[in-house]
A = this chain, B = another copy of it.
Amino acid sequence: MKGLPKGFKSIGGIEAERIERARQVFFELFAGYGYRLLLPSSVQLFGPCWECLSGEVRSRIVSLGTPSGETGCLRPDLTLAAVSYLSSHYAPEERPLRVCYADRVYRIPSPPDNDVEYFQIGAELLGWESEGADIELLTLLLKTLDALDVKENFIVIGDVTILSSLLKEMPESSSLALREALTRRSFSSFREILDRAPIPESLRRPLEELPYLRGGAEVLERATKVLPKNCSTGSVRNLVEALAVSGFKDRVLVDLSIARELDYYSGPVFEVFCGSHGRPVGGGGRYDGLLSSFGVLGQAIGFSLNLDLLLYGDTSSISKPLTVMSWPGDLRPERAMRMAAELAACGVPVEMSWIDQRNRSIELARRRGYRWWTDLSDGSIFDLEKNTLIERADWSPEGGRT
């Protein structure tokens, strides 16, 4: 059983600590704004609302037979799990509801990816009828990126109703092909399909322009010139302006060609980028339509971030714990544990060293990269950096001699 199945991995060491730290920073931030933790079931049933997922996502679901004979799947998504939970556990008068989560999701990888299993953090805000909700969630998303110290991060805001409105009068085959090309961000395919599809001239120009409607707030000026009157950019404009006032001007871009799972989202959508990743490390948007398929009327907005991508290349050191390798000498183990507990109670992390030989214990402390080693039987502390012995009374874990 040494090997795991292809696409699955166990995570330990500093990588696990980074994920755990991100999880806690994220929960603390969102708890401060009234979001409550959700631990969604790992396995979900297929159901009508799966229609909301794009064919691409549906084809990537990992299915399994449950012990009671139902056909389920490893959760491909935490939003569906959250909405399902909230719609069945809370009465309408308890809304709005705010939840956050950090957990694994599972999707069959598309090449060149290999991972089936990865970590997401995310939040959902259900039931407010106001743009305040959108601004709240995007503000907290940007604060999350700051709190996690994500380098060169920015978000790109679009609105799926613009694309939907342009496509709705076209033959379904062209419409699907165009969406699919935009989803893949393949502007050359998009252009090819446009060139050979029977498209009314009034729609051709706006569609040809769409891939260029990406950039700073000035894109919105251009959009009002090239898009038909029924394609409103008002929601995007409000968000961009509000986030600029909130101090995020340089980190908010516009992209009206975002084709983020159209059957799922139904308003403003956004994608998150950082560092050298060419593709989004997360995203989200308004999904009022999805919500109504759960029998809940109202507005919903959420986001999720792929922690593996977000923390990839995170070279920030987790400050090395000042662990003291603790050797019992001739003490009985239970006595040694009490001495160690005294150190631990002062906030000094210890690692017990049950080996008989003093020199082998010191050697192991060096291999671990620890600075301090102690003989619990006489309280002496050995500074492995300076090769000197210090009395316990003269010692502090940060700097050596007090």
Spell out A's residues near B (CB within 8 Å).
Answer: 1-13, 16-17, 19-20, 24, 27, 31-34, 36-50, 62, 64-68, 70, 72, 74, 80-81, 84-89, 93-94, 96, 98-99, 104, 106, 108-109, 116-117, 128-133, 135-136, 139, 143, 242-243, 245-246, 294, 321, 323, 328, 332-338, 340-341, 344, 349-352, 354-356, 367
Asked whether B350 lies within 8 Å of A32 as measured between CB atoms, the reply is yes
- Expressed in whole angstroms, the Cα–Cα distance for A93 and B80 within the complex equals 46
For A1, give its contact among B50, B64, B344, B354 (CB under 8 Å).
B50
Q: Which residues of B contact A245 (CB under 8 A)?
A: 332, 334-335
Known contacts: A42-B8, A139-B334, A334-B139. The answer to whether A31 contacts B349 by CB under 8 A is yes
- Expressed in whole angstroms, the Cα–Cα distance for A6 and B67 within the complex equals 8
Asked whether B38 lies within 8 Å of A68 as measured between CB atoms, the reply is no
Q: Which residues of B contact A72 (CB under 8 A)?
A: 5, 8
Q: Which residues of B contact A5 (CB under 8 A)?
A: 41, 43-45, 66, 68, 70, 72
Asked whether A20 lies within 8 Å of B6 as measured between CB atoms, the reply is no
Asked whether B70 lies within 8 Å of A40 as measured between CB atoms, the reply is no
- Expressed in whole angstroms, the Cα–Cα distance for A128 and B352 within the complex equals 10
Known contacts: A6-B70, A39-B16, A351-B98. The answer to whether A246 contacts B132 by CB under 8 A is no
Question: Closest chain B residue to A99 by CB distance?
Answer: B12
What are the 7 A-B residue pairs with the smallest beta carbon separation, nearest first?
A: A34-B351, A1-B47, A132-B354, A64-B64, A6-B68, A132-B333, A242-B334
